[in-house]
């Protein structure tokens, strides 16, 4: 139980389960994952990555990353999901680890605010990954050569665009929380990488369910 956790510095993963139609539920839900960092029970940072415009994620745009945004707190997430989390797992950490995770979480939020994080339900299989792969300096230099002289034609504006493309990251809620907490992503080749439910089930045993 959560009363076994020292809450001076704590990390909580909130999960809204990914579900498929069943006898109890007639609808499919994508689910959601959020990360909450607390100091003495008071929320310090809250990471909850969602599409900026919810309707922009639909069957016609599954392969197209869209702009993302960070939700401000658990209350706002509950309003969006129309329910409390299906589960919340908490782990106590010491001050040094807390500051480390806080820095990583802050960077994720800042990158989202700067527009560097794009939301996609299929982060391992989308059109942007193809574009980004070929939007590097080497490919740009080859493409910018004059067809008659084979000499590179300077184009600072396009070079800046290439650099901008390389800063963009395609992710979703579960992956963004994973990136904040862990140094490596879950090893998977699924187009969706990992679902909120799967991420919750794969948390280390040090995360205690409330």
pLDDT in tens, the chain (210 residues): 444 555 699 999 999 998 865 444 556 678 999 999 999 999 999 999 999 998 887 777 778 889 999 999 999 999 999 999 999 999 999 999 999 999 999 999 999 999 999 999 988 887 776 666 666 556 555 555 555 555 555 555 556 666 666 678 899 999 999 999 998 876 777 888 899 999 999 999 999 998
Q: How far apart are CA 131 and CA 154, in angstroms?
A: 21
Are 171 and 186 contacting, i.e. CB atoms less than 8 angstroms apart? no
β-bridge pairing 169-171 and 208-209: unpaired
Q: Which residues contact 138 (CB under 8 A, 6 or more apart)?
A: none
β-bridge pairing 117-119 and 169-171: parallel
Q: How far apart are CA 133 and CA 185, in angstroms?
A: 19
Q: Residue ranges of the domains in the chain?
A: 2-209
Q: How far apart are CA 123 and CA 129, in angstroms?
A: 8
Are 152 and 144 contacting, i.e. CB atoms less than 8 angstroms apart? yes
Q: Indicate the pTM of the whole model.
A: 0.80
Q: How many CB atoms lie within 10 A of CB 48?
A: 24
Task: Pull the structure tokens for residue 73.
Answer: 């707190």
172 phi-psi bin (left φ>0, alpha ψ -120 to 50, beta other): beta
């Amino acid at each position: 139980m959560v009363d076994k956790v020292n809450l001076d510095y704590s990390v909580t993963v909130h999960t809204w389960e990914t579900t498929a139609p069943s006898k109890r539920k007639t609808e499919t839900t994508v689910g959601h994952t959020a990360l909450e960092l607390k100091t003495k029970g008071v929320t310090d940072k809250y990471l909850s990555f969602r599409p900026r415009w919810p309707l922009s994620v639909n069957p016609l745009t599954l392969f197209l990353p869209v702009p993302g945004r960070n939700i401000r707190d658990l209350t706002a997430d509950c309003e969006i999901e129309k329910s409390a989390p299906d589960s919340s797992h908490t782990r106590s950490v010491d001050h040094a680890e807390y500051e480390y995770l806080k820095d990583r979480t802050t960077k994720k939020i800042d990158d989202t605010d700067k527009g560097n994080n794009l939301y996609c339900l299929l982060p391992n299989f989308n059109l942007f990954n193809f574009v980004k792969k070929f939007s590097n300096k080497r490919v740009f230099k080859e493409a910018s050569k004059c067809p008659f002289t084979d000499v590179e034609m300077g184009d600072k504006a396009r070079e800046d665009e290439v650099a901008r493309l390389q800063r963009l990251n395609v992710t979703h809620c579960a992956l963004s929380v994973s990136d904040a907490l862990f140094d490596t992503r879950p090893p998977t080749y699924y187009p969706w990488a990992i679902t909120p439910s799967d991420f919750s089930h794969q948390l280390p045993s040090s995360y205690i369910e409330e």
